[in-house]
Structure 1
C-alpha cells in the first residue's frame, strides 16, 4: 500500500511539474510579446478594432 501511495505521489509530481513549466513558458512568451509591443508602437493595433464588432 505504501508503494502505491508513493507511486501516485510520483505521478502527481511529474504531471504538476509539466503543467507548471508550461504555465511559466506561456507567461514568459506573453511578457516578451508585451515588451515587444511596448517597444515598437508601429506594431500596436488600434484598440477600437482589436475587440471586433460591437
Structure 2
C-alpha cells in the first residue's frame, strides 16, 4: 500500500500524518547532527510539499 491509497479519502489526515513524520525526522536529524542542523526547507519539500492540495484547472 502507498500513503496516497491509504489516505485516499482523507487528505487532511494524510497531511497530519506527514506533519508528525516531519516533526520526528527533524528531531532525529537535529539530535544526530546539531551543527548545522537539518534544512527546514528541504524537509518540508520532502515530507509535505508533494501532498499539497491541487489547484483546480
The interval holding the TM-score normalised by the smaller chain is 0.3 to 0.5
Larger radius of gyration: 1
TM-score w.r.t. the length of structure 2 is 0.43
Structure with more contact order per residue of length (Cα contacts < 8 Å, sep ≥ 6)? 2
More helix as a share of residues: 1
